[in-house]
Structure 1
Amino acid sequence: MEIKLDKHSANEASIKINLIEADYQPKVDAKLKDYAKKANIKGFRPGKAPISMVKNLYGTSVLVDEINDILSSSLNEYIKEQPFRILGEPLPVVESAANIDWKNQKEFEFEYKIGFVEDVDIKLDESLEATAYSIEVDDKVMNEAIENLKKQYGKMTNPEVSEENDFLYGDLKSADGSFEKTLSLPLSKMDGRSVKKFIGVEKGAVIEFDPSKAIKTDLAEVLDMSEEEAAEISGTYTFTVQNINRTEEAQLDQEFFDKVFGPNEVSTEEEFKNKVKEIMSENYDRETKTFTEEQIKDKLVDTANIELPETFLKEWLGKANENVSEEDIAKEYPMYAKQLVWSLISNKIAKDNEIKAEHEEVIEKTKEMIREQLASSGLGAQMEDNMDMFVDNYLKGNEGQNYMQMLTSVQNEKVLGFVREKIKMKEEKISLDQFKELLAN
């Protein structure tokens, strides 16, 4: 057997494997003898058919199987010995395989395309800078959050006469009768001039208007239809009011405190506000931490200057995802390439600095994730006794892929923590509006 590497560029190459008869024939003969002992061929007692007949019936399929096994093991071993990091999977050159004469050929040549990167070089020092932001939860932001909570936990009423910010439930019809739908119309979404028609009305009122002009934003969402359908909505429509729905804000009392945070967690308005501020700070800390980490990743990706084998990777992605079009691959490739480069960088830093994700850390991170999910549904505390079962079920799911994803996530967190200690980190306090501007850029 002979294996050759032919580099076409700095990150793409082909591997050619040449097999002669001595490489595969002993294994083929052994397999055919084993077949002959078990073969049940018409006209012969089991295991008594001539080896020549067995070879004629099964010889080609056995040859193909054995050569594929040899190719697979040889290719994997050869790649392991190389100093570069292979990306994706080797792609067999189909044209060369299609011309093989399996019945008569004795020597075979197989070719595989590969994409790779050479050793990744990462320099971690104070020449790299990043900013760790923290958001100030001022009174304005906190009061807005409390107002939203008061509305969220408020009581629903059905007044006789509509007011601003009510929801009107009724029938929307086009003047020509081609469209009719029953829906809930939020007056807060309507244009300042148009909404006047809907304020001070009672059940049974019929209001004439043009939805495309009256509804300021999110027309498709308000009318519960696709963007394409919403684009067709214009002209004169009528809305017949069936009911008026209004949310009366909750009062800052013990009943409200218990609904938001659980029984007897807070007992005064001051404690309630402090608890809201604490939770908001924790949530914003998570958001700013994620933003900072993405900033660090971007800087490392830019400075590493890793050149990926783009042509090879796009071809490999196409073959690995048969239902994905070339247009979709071209569109998604920049994000995939960025994630791949970061993965190479993270693995290199972890290897050089002996950073490992331990099993216990994977368990704890999974618990944190599940607690957040349960808390958002209001089931946190009562489900804690079953936490071990939830964690076990999740990590065993998706054929073990969930565990590997969590393992990678833990390692990335540890790598980013290590990087933050090595580079120059600045701290800056900003307002929520300033942070939103950063996210938008």
Structure 2
Amino acid sequence: MNITKTQIDALNAVITIAITKEDYATQVDKKLYDYKKTAAISGFRKGAVPMSVIQKQYGKPVLQEEVNKVLQASLSKYLSSERLDLLGNPIPRMDQTIDWDQDEFSFDFEIGLAPEFVVDLSATKNVTRYTIIADDKMLNDQVDRIAKQYGKLISQSEVKEDFEVRGTFTNEENGIIAPANFGLDIFANKKVAKAFIGKKVGDVVAIETKGLFDDDHKLMDYLKIGHDDVHGLDITVDFTIEEINAIEKAEFNQELFDKIFGAGIISSIDELKAKIKEDAEVQFAQQSDQKFLNDVTDSLIENTKFDLPSLFLKKWMKTMGETPLPDDQIEEEYAKAEKGLRFQLIEGRVMAENKLQITFEDLKAHTAVIIKKQMAQFGQLDPSDEEVAGIVARVMGNQDEVKRLSEQVMGEKMIGLYNEKVKTKSKEVNYDQFVKEMYGE
């Protein structure tokens, strides 16, 4: 056997695998001998079929099967030993004709190679690092929501501006059936709020999801749909009104503070606002980090220039499905995938050059922090190390969870690296201003 690589250009090459009879003859003979022992052919006793008959009936299919096994094993071993940085998978040359009556065969495979390029983090441009503050308006709004949340409901016959409605969001096509209870101030789109005014129990309000909330992630809570489906969701959902209530706001006193936070933790409106501010700004920091990571990524993609073996990748994409896609659809799919591929290459280069790795201990520690936060939400403020470790072990046994957690840990490591090496402008904003910066609204 002889394997050679012919470089076409910096991003494309052809691997040629020449196979001789010595590479496959033993396997073919063994397979045919096994057929001879078990073959049931008319006119011959089982196990007594002449090898010439076996060869005539099974020889060529067995030859093709065993040569293909040798070919695939050899190609895999060669790619591993040469440590080629491939994009996609090798594609057999379609214009080659194989004469199976010969003893020696030659097979060509096209490959696409990852480009060489440099990622200069210090050259990243126009990235802003946001510090999001919980301003007085937000704190007052939150205090008002708490007063409503713990207030008294008084049934009403029709909707007015400060009332709450309970009912169900539905969209049959998208499988949405989501009970909800809310005040009209939840909507960023004020036209939606106005559409409820004057409605009665049993009425249905049609609602457009695009721009419905100040943050698309709220669609996850109200429509009970997944994270991957909410960004830019543009459908119509119906809300059927089942109950209408006015709210007699709760009085803030020690009894209410103890009910919400536990005995003696909060004792005044000022302390309540301080607690709201602290919790909110922790969450805001996470959102700021995510935007920072996204903005650096976009800047790196825009400013890190390199070519891709696009013709090869389109050809490879065409072979991926059971049914080949037409050329116009391949062009469309490649246009969608190109930015993601560039991001993967840049991210991989950044990780390699800065020796960013995820250890098992990193994953365990990250998972433990998440579990403790979740347990605290359900009142378990001081779980034992053994209890947390047991839950961590169960989570780590789920490969999908491990993959998701690994992405989170690597994201944190990337943010830490970018904080250190990327030049940024600093800007302090409230949450509403941040949303406008994020969504351009």
The aligned length equals: 401
**Residues 153 and 259 of structure 1 are in contact (CA less than 8 Å); yes or no, is this contact kept in structure 2?**
no
Q: Closer, same or farther in 2 for the Cα pair 1:160/1:93, shift >3 Å?
A: same
- How does 1:5-404 map onto structure 2 within 5 Å? 5-33=5-33, 35=34, 39=38, 41=40, 43-44=44-45, 49-82=49-82, 85-94=85-94, 96=96, 100=98, 102=100, 104-125=101-122, 130-159=127-156, 163-166=160-163, 244-254=244-254, 256-257=256-257, 260-261=260-261, 265-322=265-322, 333-334=334-335, 336-370=337-371, 378=378, 387-397=388-398, 400-404=399-403
Unaligned stretches of 5+ residues in structure 2: 168-179, 213-218, 223-232
| 1:173 matched residue in structure 2 | none
Amino acid aligned to 2:311: T
Amino acid aligned to 1:292: F
Deviations 1:217-257 (A, max 9, x none): 96xx99xxx988889xxxxxxx9x98643344444345654
| Displacement of 1:277 | 0.6
Deviations 1:188-220 (A, max 9, x none): 76689877755xx8x89xx9xx9789xx996xx
Amino acid aligned to 1:438: E
Unaligned stretches of 5+ residues in structure 1: 171-182, 232-238
| Displacement of 1:20 | 2.8
In 2: Cα distance, 1:186 partner to 1:374 partner: 29
| 2:426 matched residue in structure 1 | 427
Deviations 1:367-398 (A, max 9, x none): 4455566677x57659887544544444333x
Q: Closer, same or farther in 2 for the Cα pair 1:19/1:131, shift >3 Å?
A: same
Structure 1 length normalisation: TM-score? 0.71
RMSD of aligned Cα (Å): 4.6
Structure 2 length normalisation: TM-score? 0.71
**Residues 84 and 118 of structure 1 are in contact (CA less than 8 Å); yes or no, is this contact kept in structure 2?**
no
**Residues 127 and 296 of structure 2 are in contact (CA less than 8 Å); yes or no, is this contact kept in structure 1?**
yes
**Residues 206 and 236 of structure 2 are in contact (CA less than 8 Å); yes or no, is this contact kept in structure 1?**
no
What secondary structure is seen at the aligned counterpart in 1 of 2:357? coil
- How does 1:397-412 map onto structure 2 within 5 Å? 397=398, 400-412=399-411
Q: Closer, same or farther in 2 for the Cα pair 1:295/1:190, shift >3 Å?
A: closer
**Residues 168 and 243 of structure 1 are in contact (CA less than 8 Å); yes or no, is this contact kept in structure 2?**
yes
What secondary structure is seen at the aligned counterpart in 2 of 1:252? coil
Q: Closer, same or farther in 2 for the Cα pair 1:411/1:169, shift >3 Å?
A: closer
Identity of paired residues, percent? 27
Deviations 1:131-157 (A, max 9, x none): 321012211122223333444454433
Q: Closer, same or farther in 2 for the Cα pair 1:155/1:57, shift >3 Å?
A: farther
